[in-house]
Amino acid sequence: KEEKKDGAEQDNKDPTKKKERLLLKTAKGTRDYSPAEMFCRLHLENIVKDCFTTYGGSCLDTPVFERKDVLTDKYGEDAKLIFDLQDQGGEQLALRYDHTVPLARYLAMMGGTNTQAKLWQVGKVYRRDNPVMSKGRMREFSQADFDISGVWDPMIPDAELLSLLCTVLSKLDVGEFTVKINHRKILDGIFEVCGVPQDKIRAISSAVDKLDKLPWSEVKKEMTDEKGLDPLVADKIGEYVKYKGGPALLDQLTADTILMSNPNAKQGLTDMGLLFTLLKAYQVLDKFSFDLSLARGLDYYTGIIYEAVVEASAPPGFKAAESFASSQTENTAAPPPSKKKAKAGAEDEEIDETQVGVGSIAAGGRYDNLVGAFLAGAANNAKEAKKIVGIPCVGVSIGMDRIFALIWPKWVERGMRSKGTMVYVMSAGDGLLEERVGLVRELREAGIKTDFLAKTKPKLPTQFAAGEKDEVPFAIILGTDELKQGLVTVKEQRWELVDGKKVKLESTSKGTQVRRGELVR
By CB under 8 A, the residues from 418 to 477 that bind a copy of itself are: 418-421, 433-434, 437-438, 441, 444, 447-451, 454-456
Comparison of 41 and 183: residue with beta carbon closer to a copy of itself: 41
Comparison of 315 and 390: residue with beta carbon closer to a copy of itself: 390
Minimum distance from CB of 91 to a copy of itself (Å)? 6
Comparison of 333 and 466: residue with beta carbon closer to a copy of itself: 466
Q: What are the DSSP calls for 256-294, one per residue? A: -HHHHTSHHHHHHHHHHHHHHHHHHHTT-GGGEEEETT-
376 binds a copy of itself (CB under 8 A): yes
DSSP E strands: which ranges in 316-463? 362-367, 393-399, 423-428, 450-452
Minimum distance from CB of 37 to a copy of itself (Å)? 8
Minimum distance from CB of 317 to a copy of itself (Å)? 31
Buried residues in 25-47 as b, exposed as e (16+ CB within 10 A): eeeebeeeeeeebebbbeebbeb
Comparison of 213 and 296: residue with beta carbon closer to a copy of itself: 296
Closest by CA position to 395, among listed 158, 170, 143: 158
Minimum distance from CB of 438 to a copy of itself (Å)? 6
Residues in the chain: 521
Minimum distance from CB of 216 to a copy of itself (Å)? 29
10 binds a copy of itself (CB under 8 A): yes
Minimum distance from CB of 160 to a copy of itself (Å)? 6
Size of the site for a copy of itself (CB under 8 A): 121
Q: Which of 14, 199, 330, 347 binds a copy of itself (CB under 8 A)?
A: 347
Comparison of 220 and 366: residue with beta carbon closer to a copy of itself: 366
Q: Which of 17, 42, 217, 349 binds a copy of itself (CB under 8 A)?
A: 42
Buried residues in 79-105 as b, exposed as e (16+ CB within 10 A): eebbbeeeeeeeeebbbbbbbbbbbbb
Closest by CA position to 147, among listed 270, 301, 286, 284: 301
Going from the C-alpha of 513 to that of each of 321, 422, 428, 448, the distances in angstroms are 60, 18, 14, 19
Comparison of 260 and 422: residue with beta carbon closer to a copy of itself: 422
Minimum distance from CB of 120 to a copy of itself (Å)? 9
**N-to-C CA span, the chain:** 51
Minimum distance from CB of 381 to a copy of itself (Å)? 9
Comparison of 304 and 320: residue with beta carbon closer to a copy of itself: 304
* Amino acid residing at 427: S
Q: Which of 44, 285, 308, 373 binds a copy of itself (CB under 8 A)?
A: 373
Q: What are the DSSP calls for 197-263, one per residue? A: -GGGHHHHHHHHGGGGTS-HHHHHHIIIIIT---HHHHHHHHHHHT-EESHHHHHHHHT-HHHHTSH
Closest by CA position to 38, among listed 362, 401, 449, 357: 401
Closest by CA position to 237, among listed 197, 190, 203, 202: 190
15 binds a copy of itself (CB under 8 A): no
Q: How many Cβ atoms sit within 10 Å of the Cβ of residue 252?
A: 13
* Amino acid residing at 192: E
Looking only at residues 292 through 321 of this chain, which bind a copy of itself when binding is defined by CB under 8 A? 299-300
Looking only at residues 216 through 255 of this chain, which bind a copy of itself when binding is defined by CB under 8 A? none
Q: Which of 117, 133, 203, 514 binds a copy of itself (CB under 8 A)?
A: 117
Looking only at residues 57 through 116 of this chain, which bind a copy of itself when binding is defined by CB under 8 A? 58-70, 72-74, 83-91, 93, 95, 105-106, 108-109
Minimum distance from CB of 145 to a copy of itself (Å)? 14
Minimum distance from CB of 64 to a copy of itself (Å)? 6
Q: Which of 17, 54, 258, 328 binds a copy of itself (CB under 8 A)?
A: 54
Contact segment (CB under 8 A) with a copy of itself among 16-24, 237-245, 251-259, 357-365 equals: 16-24
Q: How many Cβ atoms sit within 10 Å of the Cβ of residue 5?
A: 10
Looking only at residues 379 through 398 of this chain, which bind a copy of itself when binding is defined by CB under 8 A? 379-380, 385, 388
Task: Give the separation between CA 424 and CA 287, rounded to whole angstroms.
Answer: 46
Minimum distance from CB of 363 to a copy of itself (Å)? 19
9-16 long-range contacts (CB < 8 A, ≥24 apart) are: none
The dihedral sign for the CA sequence 182, 183, 189, 191: positive
199 binds a copy of itself (CB under 8 A): no
328 binds a copy of itself (CB under 8 A): no
Looking only at residues 122 through 181 of this chain, which bind a copy of itself when binding is defined by CB under 8 A? 124, 126, 128, 140, 148, 152-153, 156-157, 159-160, 163, 167
CB 294 within 8 A of CB 361: no
Minimum distance from CB of 237 to a copy of itself (Å)? 22
Comparison of 221 and 444: residue with beta carbon closer to a copy of itself: 444
CB 114 within 8 A of CB 128: no
CB 398 within 8 A of CB 361: yes
Comparison of 21 and 410: residue with beta carbon closer to a copy of itself: 21
Q: Which of 232, 248, 281, 412 binds a copy of itself (CB under 8 A)?
A: 281
Buried residues in 270-295 as b, exposed as e (16+ CB within 10 A): bbbeebbebbeeeebbebbbbbbbbb
